[in-house]
Amino acid sequence: MSLPLNAPLRASVTSIERQQILAVAEVGLGDPSVIPMWYGESDIPTPSFICDVVGQQLSKGDTFYTHKRGTDSLRTALKTYLDDLYSIDVDVDRLTVTSSGMTAIMLCLQCIIDAGDNGIVVNPVWPNAQSAIRSLGGQARFASLSSDQGVWSLDLNRIFDQCDERTKVIFVNSPNNPTGWIMPDEQIVELLSFCRDRGIWLISDEVYHRMVYTGRAAPSFLTHARDDDPVLVINSFSKAWAMTGWRIGWLVHPAGLGDILGNMIEFNYSCVPSFLQEAAVTALRDGESFVAEMVDYCRRGRDIVTQSFTSIPQILDYSPPTASFYGFFRIEGQSDTLPFAQNLVREAKIGIAPGTAFGPGAEDWYRICFAQKPDTLTEAMDRLRKALN
């Protein structure tokens, strides 16, 4: 129950609705009989070779403030990782460590959005980005992906037609949560050229860059962006290294933005704990085999869900994703997705995310996270099948 406040708050904050994935999760949190597939995380704990570093650093007394934009060791490790992954030469001055990918998005928007500005968001998409724009007094506009029986694509004109003189940023998430869509390299080049010509910032959320089922990594704006382009590439240790609870990410940006980002970090959280940063160095240096194992684990989960969905006639418009670890689909006759998802938690003891969380046009879709143990997924699919029959 909310209590009345005796002083006003900003309307741009109080007008934001509760995150609807949370509205489902709250129904079943703490109930061990519920199989939770609502959040975007694997059930694999962070591997011990990463965790052990934290204990070692704490025993050394590594508990003090450190560089606002990240330690030299982690920024250097990030450069080595990105240079190898994309065959580029990124300047360390363009790298900033952040306390999560979401924090990186918020820092960027704090630098860009004034009240009355607008940002174009490619959707369906994880809801926090458009909410962050709104929290700063901006307007979120949407350029929707198209689905052909669950295979997703983007007409770039849907972005271009939304832009006007108050458009300050375009937000793209590729690989995409929730659809698994990957922006093709030729569209990356065209959109980058548009933003360069118009002086519009482009935020590319690439946190699922390694969660691809063909190749080593998804196409990235980093392979085409010049050092001075208005491009901000967001990434995180959460997904590929099973570090969701660690809240550590990074940002690639024009070098000239570094000091400003340092100021914004000072005002928001001062620095990322240095003992976590050393663990992140280890993840980058020694974690390639684990990343490969994580992708294989999710591929097996995708196969289980795909096989199960083919035997459930009420599942519509599903296609096995080429990236990320989500299935996105419709359920015949169940277009009011939030109450239906909440009811699945209560009655079937399974938790999935409602399409209403992912923006206009996704209201009658559902998302399931298949980064789970095979036995868990098999049981979840059995429960879903029974609930729909």
The reported pLDDT for the residue numbered 31 is 95
Q: Does the structure show a pLDDT above 90 at 195?
A: yes
For 286, other C-beta atoms within 10 Å of its C-beta total 13
Residue 296: how many other CB atoms lie within 10 Å: 11
| 180 in Cβ contact with 211 (< 8 Å) | no
CATH number of the CATH domain containing 74:
3.40.640.10
Q: Which two tokens stand for residue 123?
A: 């959707």
Average pLDDT (120-124) is 98
141-170 confidence digits (pLDDT tens): 999 999 999 999 999 999 999 999 999 999
> What's the token pair of residue 43?
């059930």
Segment 17-36 shows an average pLDDT of 94
Question: Same structural domain for residues 25 and 82?
Answer: no
Indicate the average pLDDT of the chain: 97
Among 242, 259, 286, where does a domain finish?
286
- Residues whose CB falls within 8 Å of the CB of residue 222, separated by 6 or more in sequence, listed in order: 82, 86, 88, 90, 233, 252
Total domains in the chain come to 2
Which residue, 257, 286, 315, sits at the end of a domain?
286
Q: Which amino acid is at 96?
A: T
- Report the percentage of the chain scoring pLDDT > 70: 99
3-state secondary structure of 205: strand
CB-based contact 298:291 (threshold 8 Å): no
Mean pLDDT across 38-54: 97
Per-residue pLDDT, 362: 94
Domain boundary among 271, 286, 301: 286
* 206: containing domain: 48-286
Q: Is residue 2 part of a domain?
A: no
Confidence of residue 2 (pLDDT cuts 50, 70, 90): low
Rg (CA), the chain: 21
What is the rounded distance in angstroms from the CA atom of residue 65 to the CA atom of residue 49?
24
102 vs 132, 235, 244, 351, CA distance in Å? 9, 9, 11, 23
Same domain? 261 vs 312:
no
pTM of the entire predicted model: 0.96
The answer to the question of residue 154 being in a domain is: yes
Q: Residue 172 pairs with which residues in a beta bridge? A: 204
DSSP letter string over 146-179?
EEETTEEE--THHHHTT--TTEEEEEEESS-TTT
The model's confidence at residue 3, banded by pLDDT at 50, 70 and 90, is low
- Please give the single-letter amino acid code of residue 374: P
Query: Per residue in 230-286, pLDDT tens?
Result: 999 999 999 999 999 999 999 999 999 999 999 999 999 999 999 999 999 999 999
Q: What is the pLDDT of residue 4?
A: 76
Please give the full DSSP string across 267-293, using - where no structure is assigned: HHTS---HHHHHHHHHHHHH-HHHHHH
What's the mean pLDDT in 60-80?
A: 98
- Total residues found in the chain within this entry: 389
Indicate whether 324 belongs to any domain.
yes
User: Which two three-digit tokens encode residue 318?
Assistant: 């599903």
CATH of the domain at 353: 3.90.1150.10
Nearest-angstrom CA–CA distance, 10 and 14: 6
For residue 320, what pLDDT is reported?
Answer: 97
The residues, any chain, with a CB within 8 Å of residue 320's CB and separated by 6 or more, are 302, 303, 306, 327
If asked whether residues 186 and 274 sit together in one domain, one would say yes
Structure tokens at 333: 């006759």
Q: Which two tokens stand for residue 357?
A: 């969380």
Does residue 46 register a pLDDT over 60?
yes
Q: CB under 8 Å to 55, separation ≥6 — which residues?
A: none
Written as one letter, the residue type at 295 is V
Cβ contact 302:327 at 8 Å: yes
**pLDDT at residue 18 is higher than 90:** no
Give the pLDDT of residue 277.
98
Do 251 and 372 lie in one domain? The reply is no
334-346 residues labelled b (16+ CB within 10 A) or e (exposed): beebbebbbebbe
Q: How confident is the model at residue 100 (pLDDT cuts 50, 70, 90)?
A: very high
